[in-house]
Structure 1
Amino acid sequence: MTAPSLSLTWTDHVTGRQGHLVVDRLVRGVASGGLRMREGCSLAEVAGLARGMTMKEALHYNPDRPAGKYIPLGGAKGGIDCDPRDPDAYGVLVRYLRAMRPYVETVWTTGEDLGLTQDVVDRAAAEAGLVSTVQAVYRLLDDEGAARGRLAAAFAVEVDGIGLDELVGGCGVAESVLVALDRAGVRHEGTRVCVQGFGTMGGATARFLSRAGLLVVAVADVKGTVANPRGLDVEALLAARDAYGTVDRAALRPEDRELPGDAWLSTDAEVLVPAAVSYAIDAANQASISARWVVEAANMPVLPEAEELLARRGVTVLPDVVVNSGTNAWWWWTLFGDVDADAEAAFAHTRRSMRDLVGRMLARAEADGTTPRAAAHAIVDDRLPLITERFGWYG
């Protein structure tokens, strides 16, 4: 892959906090990728995430099939080095978006990511003078009004009290797990899962897997790990979490156990789902993992050296660029008109797309004798030249 098209660092004149924007690649003059906020967020981290977005967009474009209405974009990412709980965080976010306004208006479509919710991003964007965080893509739409109406309607849909936009990503992660189990001949019922992080992605993943018959035996948040070898009450935990994914321990049952924060790594489970911060699994702590699959719901949670060591031990890592790509794809399927503002239609489309993509990746890995991540990269390498040839960099 080539070097990023744009890489910049901004310094807030009020707090001295820094923010970053990396546009890894443009397709038709536009790039897609969320905005995260966390203490310690670096330019290198944002660059890696932007490269991942380029891959996600390419992976959801299948040139061998009749194209849907959505055509892929390039990849980008934004990041702010600030704890979202900091009293200054919202002001920093507004000023960052004001500074990035020329890019959001013309080339960068963005939305919620780690540490931020879409409603907060939208409110800050309005204060920063933006029409929308995805306005750069409007010029590519056949009917802007209808498209914006579909997306607004979709964001208003709730399922059991949780917004559709908060569920589709976890639906995609869960389907990735189910495909891996199916290919290995492992029954869904009773297969044990541990989820690290219980925010938007982790919570939705736990819900879909639990409803598919799997046992969620452990959940980790900033307070520690909650575990029950017979299965946690996922719905009760979802109802008891705050906006940051922290579970109120008063909702635990007598048989549920509270364990230290790092206990999630060594949980006795077949599937481990890191769904929180990047770089959570390193060369040292990977030795604690006994799961058969590590499924990356978070972005870049497994460091490369850890993944190599896990592979040597027979642990399969399903990579983030495939596993957690459902949220980004759903935005565009909805905006461009491939799905309507309907939960069941969105879930069905997500499941079909993820089942095809994960199956294709695992088949390629088996055929090439390599890892799922290497197989995903190989698929991207096949598709990017075709995307460039058919749609161009700058539109």
Structure 2
Amino acid sequence: MTASPLSIPRPTTAPPPHLQVTWTDPVTGRRGYVVIDRLVRGVSSGGLRMREGCTLDEVRGLAAGMTRKEALHYDPANRYIPLGGAKGGIDCDPHDPQARAVLGRFLDAVRSLLKHHWTTGEDLGLRQDTIDEVLAELGMDSSIAAIYPLLDDAAGARQRLADAFAVEVDGVLLADLVGGLGVAESALTALDHLGLSRTSARAVVQGFGSMGGATARHLAREGVTVVGLADARGVIVNPAGLDVERLLLTRDGLGGIDRSQLRPGDTEADGDTWLDIDCEVLVPAAVSYCIGASEQERIKARVIAEAANMPTLPDAEAALHARGTLVLPDFVANSATNAWWWWTLFGDIGADADQAHRKIREAMGRLTTDMLTDAETYGTTPREAALGVVARKLGDIEARFGGPGAPAAVRSAGGSHDDPR
């Protein structure tokens, strides 16, 4: 019998990260950070963000979240074996004229980590194509070079991932859609769990970049009425429903909504009013720490799907849970982007939109159902239930590959997909 996730003892405090690095730009004085929370087979995974005010504490928390995301998708039957968790962050406005040069100096400074231990990709404020272009200028091969020694056929795997990044679905790249599909599937599963009709539900999405835009598209395509969208300039509202597809295909590269595309009935409002709009599903998909104790009092939604990393503060989440709002934690709801990369690279799926959609829907539906069922059965929050699953899977991973920082397991234990341990 499989143990209840809540029956597994968990430490009251998280273990310290395996490594944390603080870098100071010699030209501008800007700070950058890399935190490797843990290594599995000597490698970790986690994106690189750029935002004004980014801190080491923020990056440390995000790295721990990546460990959870990786662990949740561990399935011994898959060719993909989860990595450890990591994260990078640069304290710089991505719109700053010097941002690209700062990014280049940062990546050059941490190139040894990128080569051997840290696989990274786009996150808040950075696009993957920008990272790739800067790495190429530095003479570096890829942002995920550290994983190549773990692949049986690195050239074939890289081609498969490159092919997947070229796949387009109705005008949007598949790579920009997979994360939001996972968030939407998690939210839809939660609506089903509550017995709420999808086609009667309304949604508000804060943030309209790759994660928020894709979430809005997939919710709308499942019959949910998207009544509010927020970007950096404010909020667009229409109680009868926004034309998500039109706005998605005309947004700018950082998720800005083109106001010239608004229809009669669409209205504009101030930036924080997204919290006040009547809806069943609320999707914070832009920034961390945006729902605190005072903000949560304004929320009417029954489901909050955390597409952004760490958007809900603990006190706010406790208050929301007490009044019956389901908060789907970030490391569950927004984990599909990371998993899709590795499912594709390792060959669990091909460079195919239908395969990606099926895999993501199945995985996210199952994870969300199990989390909500356990939370209800054991009288705890969805986050606590999901952490129980993470603890169990981390134990399974450590039993197979060694402890949190075990680089000794790298090349000897993990080089083959068919390793029986």
TM-score after normalising by structure 2: 0.92
Which residue number corresponds to residue 63 of structure 2?
A: 50
* Matched-pair contact (CA < 8 Å) for 1:98–1:129: no
Which residue number corresponds to residue 9 of structure 2?
A: none
Using the TM superposition, name which of 311-320 and 210-219 deviates more.
311-320
**AA partner of residue 117 (structure 2):** V
- Structure 1 residues 102-126: Cα deviation after superposition (integer angstroms, max 9, x where no partner): 0000000000001111101111111
- How far apart in 2 are the matches of 1:102 and 1:127? 16
Using CA pairs below 8 Å that are at least 6 residues apart, which structure has the higher relative contact order?
Answer: 2
2:19 is the alignment partner of 1:6: yes
1:362 paired residue among 372, 376, 379: 372
- What secondary structure sits across from 1:294 in the alignment? strand
- What secondary structure sits across from 2:74 in the alignment? coil
1:118 paired residue among 128, 143, 158: 128
- What secondary structure sits across from 1:25 in the alignment? coil
Q: How many residues align?
A: 392
1:204 deviation in Å? Answer: 0.2
Which residue number corresponds to residue 17 of structure 1?
A: 30
1:153 paired residue among 146, 160, 163: 163
2:317 is the alignment partner of 1:307: yes
1:128 deviation in Å? Answer: 2.4
* Matched-pair contact (CA < 8 Å) for 1:266–1:289: yes
- How far apart in 2 are the matches of 1:190 and 1:129? 52
Q: State the 4+ residue runs in structure 1 displaced beyond 6 angstroms.
A: none
* Matched-pair contact (CA < 8 Å) for 1:282–1:305: yes
Mapping of residues 131-280 of structure 1, within 5 Å: 131-280=141-290
**AA partner of residue 172 (structure 1):** G
2:114 paired residue among 64, 87, 104: 104
- How far apart in 1 are the matches of 2:245 and 2:81? 36
- Structure 1 residues 31-84: Cα deviation after superposition (integer angstroms, max 9, x where no partner): 00000000000000000000000000110013xxx5111111000000000111
2:81 is the alignment partner of 1:68: no
- How far apart in 2 are the matches of 1:323 and 1:171? 10
* Matched-pair contact (CA < 8 Å) for 2:42–2:117: yes
- What secondary structure sits across from 1:284 in the alignment? helix
* Matched-pair contact (CA < 8 Å) for 1:108–1:134: yes
* Matched-pair contact (CA < 8 Å) for 1:5–1:25: yes
- What secondary structure sits across from 1:58 in the alignment? helix
* Matched-pair contact (CA < 8 Å) for 1:101–1:128: no
**Percent identity over paired residues:** 60
1:391 deviation in Å? Answer: 1.6
**AA partner of residue 233 (structure 1):** D
* Matched-pair contact (CA < 8 Å) for 1:112–1:121: yes
Which residue number corresponds to residue 400 of structure 2?
A: 390
* Matched-pair contact (CA < 8 Å) for 2:121–2:131: yes
- Structure 1 residues 112-167: Cα deviation after superposition (integer angstroms, max 9, x where no partner): 00111110111111122211100100000011111001001000111112111100
1:190 deviation in Å? Answer: 2.5
- What secondary structure sits across from 1:194 in the alignment? strand
**Structure 1 unaligned regions, length at least 5:** none
Which residue number corresponds to residue 343 of structure 1?
A: 353
- How far apart in 1 are the matches of 2:315 and 2:321? 10
**AA partner of residue 86 (structure 2):** A
* Matched-pair contact (CA < 8 Å) for 2:171–2:249: no
Root mean square deviation, CA, Å: 0.9
- Structure 1 residues 163-208: Cα deviation after superposition (integer angstroms, max 9, x where no partner): 1110000010010011111111211113100000000000000000
1:316 deviation in Å? Answer: 1.4
**AA partner of residue 214 (structure 1):** V
- How far apart in 1 are the matches of 2:72 and 2:327? 17
* Matched-pair contact (CA < 8 Å) for 1:225–1:263: yes
* Matched-pair contact (CA < 8 Å) for 2:135–2:143: yes
- How far apart in 1 are the matches of 2:315 and 2:137? 43
- How far apart in 2 are the matches of 1:284 and 1:202? 23
**AA partner of residue 109 (structure 1):** T
**Structure 2 unaligned regions, length at least 5:** 1-13, 411-421
- How far apart in 1 are the matches of 2:376 and 2:140? 46
- How far apart in 1 are the matches of 2:111 and 2:18? 17
1:240 deviation in Å? Answer: 2.2
- What secondary structure sits across from 2:177 in the alignment? helix
Which residue number corresponds to residue 28 of structure 1?
A: 41
Using the TM superposition, name which of 134-143 and 383-392 deviates more.
383-392
